[in-house]
């Protein structure tokens, strides 16, 4: 990103900026958020999410049809938007760090995270 008016961090400088890297970028962003700022924030969409407990593992998103039996029975989250609570982020990152096969790289990061 060239625009210095928008606060940003170079988390992805070694990854080409294309759709095929969305999984790696998303996982890196989750890991960065958990390690560096999760103690400062409970939610990022606070007004919308105030009825949910951030200490519970919430995964909120928009579900669509199930097209592949390897993914959740009620479909999967389309990448246009999903939200993880602080606890869900913690559980996700801890599992990724201890289990090489968990949330393994898929072309579509939303499928990987939703699974």
Whether the per-residue pLDDT at 67 is higher than 60: the answer is: no
Q: Structural domain boundaries of the chain?
A: 42-114
Q: Are 89 and 33 in contact (CB under 8 A)?
A: yes
Residues 75, 63 contacting (CB under 8 angstroms)? yes
pLDDT given at position 23: 78
pLDDT at position 107 is 62
């Amino acid at each position: 990103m060239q625009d210095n008016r928008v606060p940003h961090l170079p988390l992805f400088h070694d990854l080409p900026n294309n759709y095929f890297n969305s999984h790696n970028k998303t996982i890196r962003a989750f890991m960065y958020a958990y390690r560096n700022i999760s103690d400062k924030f409970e939610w990022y969409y606070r007004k919308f999410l105030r009825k949910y407990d951030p200490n519970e593992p919430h995964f909120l998103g928009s579900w669509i049809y199930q097209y592949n039996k390897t993914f959740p029975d009620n479909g999967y989250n389309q990448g246009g938007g999903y939200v993880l609570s602080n606890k869900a982020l913690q559980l996700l990152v801890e599992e990724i760090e201890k289990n090489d096969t968990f949330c393994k790289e898929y072309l579509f990061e939303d499928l990987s995270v939703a699974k």
